[in-house]
Amino acid sequence: METIYLIIVLVLFLLAASDLVVGVSNDAVNFLNSAIGSKVAPFKVIMVIASLGIIVGATFSSGMMEVARKGIFHPQYFYFSEIMYIFLAVMITDVILLDTFNTYGMPTSTTVSIVFELLGAAVGIAIIKGYSDSNAMNVSEYINSAKALAIISGILLSVVISFTVGAIVQFVTRLVFSFDYKKTIRRYGAIWGGIAITAITYFILIKGAKGASFMSSDLKKWIVENTLIIIFFSFIGWTILLQLLSWLTKLNILKLIVLVGTFALAMAFAGNDLVNFIGVPLAGFESFNAWMANPGADPNGFLMTDLTGKVKTPTLFLLIAGLIMVITLWFSKKAKSVTKTELNLARQDAGFERFGSSGIARSIVRGTGSLSKGINAFLPATVITSIEKRFDQSKAVTVEDNEEAPSFDLIRASVNLVVASILISFATSLKLPLSTTYVTFMVAMGTSLSDKAWGRESAVYRITGVFSVIGGWFLTAFSAFTIAFIVAFMLYYGGIYAVLALLATAIFLVYRTHGIHKKVSAKTDEEDQDINDISELNIADKSSETILKNLDSVVTEYLKTIEGLEKEDLKLLKKSRNEINRVTSKTKYLKDNINVIVDKLKEDSENTAYYFVEVLDYMREILHSLSFINGPIYDHVNNNHKPLIEIQIQELTSLHSMLKKLIDNITSGIESGNYSNLEQILDEQQKFLKFVEKVTKTQIKRVKSEVVGTRNSVLYLNILNESKNMALQVVNLFKSQRDFYDFRSGK
């Protein structure tokens, strides 16, 4: 019996290590977003500062998480065996849930997940007690339901307050500094820095270091009682110091604010959210020690009253946890995916949007537009003109030609950190249940709205994205409760067999999601690399390279599709469809990000951009035709319709041979840079089109003589028509690339 529970404790610690990895991967966006988005410093410098914040925060972390031991349920009413099942259910659920969110790059709250997992598992075990024990109390007496309600209200409070305050502060700050802030920062930079670093300093005292061992109860009490004095003298001191440094060393105050703020948020995250990952295993370890201290105690009858007291976490555990978090921060690709989601929603420029549009987003945009027009009607024209000048992005501080533009500037980055710090520390001092994750995310969304990052080109997509993330937060609570509830039942009735089965399931799911993320990440990296590799000097060569690769795929997949139809091979057709979609997606990504490519070209490169766009358009038309061939064929075979007759397969095989010959001539000309074979290509095209015409007439005769049925005819005529379109577009592609080549060569 003792061995079983020892194994469970070991499993809890192994899950804790895994939970640290998946948890940091999700929460990293909270403190990295502003620094990475504004490119305040080289990436490695940002990571070093964040890592130091994590180590310091982990060392200062408070004692064992109270919410894990007694915040959600009353441990004194549960037996040792029941407590262990609750904790194990929580950790298994948490690893699976957070890893799933990370895989799809969606930020969520680790606090909400752990709270609702504890609630779900505790409710599950309480229900079992109610049915199996005649002396059991009502389920409500086992559960601290007020805590769960406080968390839910915290979600709503965080969303509304953070977004609103972030939007207002950013609007006022931009009015003061404008996008051309080089002059204004010299005048008001020290004052803004004084406000910002004072807020961050207070944030560190209230939120970041509140659990530090060096802070006694009297010191904490003194800080609370002398808040205004601390803020006043801190503001005066920082303002004077920053002004002097600005005069003497030409210090960039905005960069200092962002870097200090990044350190503070990382420290607060480690100091407070660390317990979300190791609190439950440590509570399980403490439970095991309490049971072992009473030799002969029945695990099914030993009440866990020991968990109601205070227990200090060993510093070694905190340090190990901090190191795991730092390592994860540096190497987790999923952390980068989550960060990318928030940066995509907050970036200043329009372009490719990850999220689509939704009805509610469109309604909000229309309503906001009408409201804006109504407000402007009452404002004097001079006021509107003055505001527009302050928000004139054409005068924004620019980067060097060889540098990639940041997602947003240092003004917005500093506002993000200052507002988040103020809201979190203020809420903590008032004991309001605001979530760190929700505050930082919604502040970033509010500031991006005020900065006019959500213009008419992107607003509906950004709003849809925000609602998707918020919906995910509520889904976190529901999923955490439900899954932990079910897992607790399975563990209670399945014992050690359920433990092994659920662990195997968790490992499999994490492995599976890792594979999914790896594929998605590799696809994204490849697409990004395609764009990054394009420059003014090599754009024509890159265009040729893209055409050659895609045309090779077209010939190959056309043949596979015909073979799949002949052999009625669904696997081959599906494999071909996936490859067609992959190539189409890459071409679409290039077209969707044409603004990024154009920005990399010289100012007088309109013709270059025009030809490149034209080539992409023809390429997409060819791929669409191929897709319109593959799709109906797949459906035809999948629905078990009659196969094509032998003569039709022979005609399609001949069609492929002629198309291959036509494309081979085209690729030969593009590859060699010799476009003199156009006449030969046009002859091949005419032969192809005449063959299509001949076969089409033959098919019509078959229909009239009832040799083939309706579905056969519809499918076959569709293949012929789309093949004809491909032959037309592939020659247009060749001509366009020829013109592109001649223009770049100065011919």
**Residue 746 — φ and ψ, nearest 5°?**
75, 20
- Tell me the pLDDT tens digit for each residue of 473-488: 788 888 888 999 998 8
pLDDT at position 401: 45
Residue 604 burial by Cβ neighbours in a 10 Å radius (0-12, 13-18, 19+): exposed
* Three-state secondary structure of 556-591: HHHHHHHHHHHHCCHHHHHHHHHHHHHHHHHHHHHH
Which residues pair with residue 143 across a beta bridge? Answer: 73
Band of residue 236 on the pLDDT scale cut at 50, 70, 90: very high
SS3 state of residue 143: strand
Q: Which of 230-244, 356-370, 599-613 has the lowest mean pLDDT?
A: 599-613
Question: What is the location of CATH 1.20.58.220 in the chain?
Answer: 534-745
Q: Report which DSSP code applies to 79.
A: B
Q: Which residues, in sequence order, are CB contacts of 326 under 8 Å at separation 6+?
A: 51, 54, 55
CB 671 within 8 A of CB 679: no
CB 50 within 8 A of CB 97: no
What's the whole-model pTM score? Answer: 0.72
Classify residue 569 as left (phi > 0), alpha (psi -120 to 50) or beta.
beta
pLDDT at position 402: 44
Is 70 exceeded by the pLDDT of residue 63? Answer: no
**Range 301-315 average pLDDT:** 69
pLDDT at position 530: 55
Q: Cα 132 to the chain's mean position, in Å?
A: 44
CB 186 within 8 A of CB 444: no
Angle at alpha carbon of residue 613, lines to 610 and 618, rounded to 5°: 125
- Tell me the pLDDT tens digit for each residue of 629-653: 999 999 999 888 888 888 988 999 9
Q: What CATH code is assigned to 534-745?
A: 1.20.58.220
pLDDT at position 693: 92
Buried/exposed 67-91: b ≥16 CB within 10 Å, e otherwise: bbbbbbbbbebbbbbbbbbbbbbbb
Q: Report which DSSP code applies to 393.
A: G
Looking at per-residue pLDDT, the higher value among 621 and 208 belongs to 621
Is 60 exceeded by the pLDDT of residue 212? Answer: no
Band of residue 231 on the pLDDT scale cut at 50, 70, 90: confident
**Range 201-227 average pLDDT:** 68
**Range 209-221 average pLDDT:** 63
Give me 472's structure tokens. Answer: 């995910």
Give me 442's structure tokens. Answer: 């919604």
Amino acid at 586: K
- Tell me the pLDDT tens digit for each residue of 107-127: 777 777 888 888 888 888 888
